[in-house]
Chain A
Amino acid sequence: MSLLTPDPGLLFWMLVSFGIVFFVLAKYGFPIIVKMVDERKAYIDRSLESARQATERLQGIQEESERILAEAREEQVRILKETNEMRVKIINDAKDLAHLETGKIMEEAKRSIQKEKETAMRDIHSQIAALSISIAEKILRKNLDNKPAQLDLANKLLQEISN
């Protein structure tokens, strides 16, 4: 059998068998395998994508919670600070007020003391005057004969008293 001339019988069988193989495999074989592999690939891609999204979301949630926590802590600090300030302020206010009141009371007291003192002084003055008049009367009555000496004495006394 010559190697280089195709044998018609074998050509026929090859045509038939390859045709059948091609038909069967192209209809029931390869397309379904390739299709399923492609579908699986798409499915894997989808799964990876959703996993990535889930991780991202989780990270977002974590960040959010951290942020909220930090905010709360800040708020706490702020409130504490504010309270502290308020406390100091209230105390200071109270102190100021007390100071003012005390000052007022002191002033009042000073004023009334001054008044009392003046009244007392006036009293004393009038009493001294009355006393000195009476003293003078007594001295006058006693030493009326020695008139110049009496006058000197009276003057001297008066001067002393007025001083």
Chain B
Amino acid sequence: MSDLIQKTTVLFLLFLFVGINASPAETPPAEENTELNVSELILEHVGDGYDWHITNLGHNPVSIPLPVIVKGKESGWHLFLSSAFHHGHASCKGFSIAQEGPYKGKIIETLATGDEVRPWDFSLTKNATSLLLSSIILIILIVSCANWYRKRQENPENCSPKGFVAFVELVIMSIVDGVIKPCIGKNYKRYTPYLLTVFFFIIFNNLLGLIPLFPGGANVTGNIAITCVLALFTFAMVNIFGTKEYWKEIFWPDVPAWLKVPVPIMPAVEFLGIFTKPFALMIRLFASILSGHALILGLTCMVFLTVRLGVFMNTGMTVFAVILTVFSDCVELLVAYIQAYVFTMLSAVYIGLSQVEAHHKPKSEKSR
């Protein structure tokens, strides 16, 4: 019950947030562009940004400036706050945010020749900042739990945790016993830290992304760069420690010879599979989190879109949208867990597949 109250408060704040943000888009250009550009608004929120936009007060956007770190083609390294751009309207040291073109929304460098090029851009964007913050919080949480255990290392009989540590232990052990052990098999101990890290990293960022206020709200796990790195780690984990049997099954699979001798069809398919598996992991997490964010934002925008349809219609649609948003927020909570679980489980399954032992021998003996 209190969770529901909390949820509605959060939603109320979300309305406030989106509402204030949306209103200037409606008002300033007076009559010519009264329509709220929903797709742009959603894309702006699920995408990345150089400053952490919180709200608009009147016509002045309120945002947290974030550090911009760029290396220009000619001018070398630069470090300054994103407030120097004045929300994209000004340029600083030859750098500015592109308003259109192929680099729309990103920092471009205007060279002396007048050409616009993309510099090396290591800015702490909204997602990067959120990522660093969540990483620090995650490390603190887990290491403090681990310290609780470390203190009781000498006497295992006193080591039954309560409260938060017990909850973390419950989650850890449910992943270890429910996913890692059955999926990997006897070598599971080597991969447990990695898979647990992946699970906690994803679920923590997912949940943080659902909170619309400052430390959260960024669409971290719904960004393809993030899921790409996670998938690359899994790719490395699967292939670096793959057994001989695993590679044999890729390049010389147990299929009729004509499928592999003149034209290596099956080896090609298997080889492609090495890359499609992490690729699927990357796309799945990215798409589900992105769509969740877009869905909630879209439903919230419904309130402001129906303003023009009259008071009754607007009220009705507002109630409808609030109910739907509460519902989809709850679904997103579930999705946050499920996607973290699925990513961990599939990584474990792929690792388990790369740990295969030679199991063809008994089969061939049987056929003889």
Contact = CB atoms under 8 A, between A and B. Distances in A.
Interface in A1-24: 1, 3-15, 17-18, 20-22, 24
* Most interface-central of A8, A9, A42 (chain B CB within 10 A): A9
Given A25-B142, A32-B150, A13 B132 contact: yes
Interface stretch (A33-41, A57-65, A122-130): A33-41
Contacts of A20: 135, 139
B169 interface: yes
Contact of A3 (B47, B124, B153, B196): B47
A12 B128 CA distance: 9
B226 interface: yes
Interface residues of B, number: 54
Contact of B153 (A7, A18, A26, A36): A36
B233 to A, nearest CB: 7
A3 B197 contact: no
A47 B127 CA distance: 50
Given A9-B123, A36-B152, A14 B229 contact: yes
Given A29-B142, A36-B152, A15 B43 contact: no
Given A7-B225, A10-B226, A11-B228, A34 B192 contact: yes
Interface stretch (B156-164, B250-258, B330-338): B156-164
Interface string B140-159: 00110110011011001101
B149 A36 contact: yes
A29 B223 CA distance: 26
Interface of B is mostly: helix
Contacts, number: 138
A17 B226 CA distance: 10
A103 interface: no
B149 A17 contact: no
A135 B343 CA distance: 161
Contact of B139 (A4, A25, A42): A25
B268 to A, nearest CB: 26
A17 B193 contact: no
B128 A13 contact: yes
B343 to A, nearest CB: 13
B186 to A, nearest CB: 15
A29 B143 contact: yes
B281 interface: no
A36 B159 CA distance: 8
Interface residues of A, number: 36
A25 B193 contact: yes
Given A31-B192, A40-B156, A3 B43 contact: yes
Contacts of B193: 22, 25-26, 29-31
B146 A30 contact: yes
B27 to A, nearest CB: 26
B48 interface: yes
Interface in B106-127: 106, 120-125, 127
Contact of A9 (B122, B176, B233): B122
A11 B48 contact: no
A42 to B, nearest CB: 8
Interface string B188-227: 0000111011001100000000000000000000011110
B46 interface: yes
Nearest to B150: A32
* Most interface-central of B192, B194, B196 (chain A CB within 10 A): B196
B230 interface: yes
Given A14-B128, A17-B131, A18-B229, 19 more contacts: A6-B224, A7-B225, A8-B121, A9-B123, A13-B122, A14-B225, A14-B228, A21-B139, A22-B193, A25-B196, A26-B197, A29-B142, A30-B196, A32-B146, A33-B146, A33-B149, A34-B176, A34-B196, A40-B157
6 tightest CB-CB pairs across the interface, nearest first?
A26-B193, A6-B225, A10-B225, A13-B128, A29-B142, A36-B149
Interface of A: 1, 3-15, 17-18, 20-22, 24-26, 28-34, 36-37, 39-40, 42-43, 47
